[in-house]
Amino acid sequence: MKNCKACAYVIFLNLIFILTPSVSAHSLEDAIKSTDRSAKNVARDQYRNPYETLSFFGIKQEMSVVELSPGGGWYTEILANYIHSPGKLIAAHFDRDSKRDFYIRMRNNFEDKINKNPMYKNVSVVDLSSKLADPGSIDAVLTFRNLHNWIGPQIDIIFSNSHKALKKGGVLGIVEHRADPGTSLEEMKKTGYVTEEYAIETAKKHGFTLIAKSEINANPKDTKNYTRGVWTLPPVLRLKEQDKETYLNIGESDRMTLLFKKL
């Protein structure tokens, strides 16, 4: 009888071990290696360095994170796989009531993507121009290759709302195509490359303190002098077959990686 009870207890313990989610299963490495990711997105890892980038930003699986303007969801795919309760991921996408058909189409496609896959069950979608989250409730705000799209009044709204949403000690992580020093605002809008000075000064204006820079996403082969701006390079390849091999050999753009904190 004692042996039967002992066996039952061992079986019970084994069941607990099997059914209890492993923390390591949700590691950043595993999220990046996950088969839930599309092969097309995985092919860009060599240029975007997701492990190094998210580690530099200090992102942990239990954090509450806002991803600004996620586009098609390249980073969302990784973050949704990585962040788990009590953490959460908020995707601040194009506004639902936008007057631009392209923005509405992108928002609809993004929502359709996350609604069809249970991997995104911990992801909520809000408007980019909204308050983003309750004041002081967010651990980290992240944005990847978006500043050039916001130059003007919009960038002030987004940075201000990001600062309000962050907890004291929360971080703002920015990756952006890097322009040469002295590039004008008009040229930044036109080419998609933004100066570090502009990014840093804009963040400081809204209460952020720069705490670190990284060359994780630098690309010295990027000459930044293309007739169609940064979109000449992969993955867009706006010139299609014209000099395609040249641009593929350059790779994706030279990028700054900046980390700010709300003190």
Q: Is residue 3 part of a domain?
A: no
Residue 15 pLDDT > 70: no
Cα–Cα distance measured from residue 196 to residue 64, given in angstroms and rounded to the nearest whole number: 27
Residue 147 pLDDT > 70: yes
pLDDT for position 6: 46
For residue 82, CA distances in Å to 22, 74, 151, 215 come to 12, 13, 31, 24
Residue 262 pLDDT > 60: yes
Nearest to 173 by CA among 135, 137, 147, 134: 147
Cα–Cα distance measured from residue 3 to residue 10, given in angstroms and rounded to the nearest whole number: 11
* Lowest-confidence segment of 1-10, 92-101, 190-199, 253-262 by average pLDDT: 1-10
**Of residues 217 and 18, which shows the higher confidence score?**
217
Q: Is residue 188 part of a domain?
A: yes
Q: Is residue 43 part of a domain?
A: yes
Residue 17 pLDDT > 70: no
Mean pLDDT score, 22-27: 54
Do residues 119 and 46 lie in contact, with contact meaning Cβ atoms separated by under 8 Å? no
Question: What pLDDT digit, counting tens, does each position of 25-53 carry?
Answer: 479 999 999 999 999 999 999 999 999 99
Mean pLDDT score, 145-156: 98
Nearest to 72 by CA among 26, 128, 112, 122: 112
Write down the pTM of the prediction. 0.90
User: Could you give the number of structural domains in the chain?
Assistant: 1
Q: Is residue 100 part of a domain?
A: yes
pLDDT for position 20: 38
Q: Is residue 17 part of a domain?
A: no
Q: Is residue 137 part of a domain?
A: yes
**Domain span including residue 186:** 24-261
pLDDT for position 22: 38
Residue 240 pLDDT > 60: yes
Q: Is residue 16 part of a domain?
A: no
Determine what percent of the chain falls in helix, strand and coil, rounding each to the nearest 5: 45, 20, 35
What is the residue-averaged pLDDT of the chain? Answer: 92
Q: Is residue 201 part of a domain?
A: yes
Residue 100 pLDDT > 60: yes
pLDDT tier for residue 55 given thresholds of 50, 70 and 90? very high
pLDDT for position 233: 98
Question: What pLDDT digit, counting tens, does each position of 103-115 carry?
Answer: 999 999 999 999 9
CATH of the domain at 237: 3.40.50.150
Mean pLDDT score, 164-181: 98
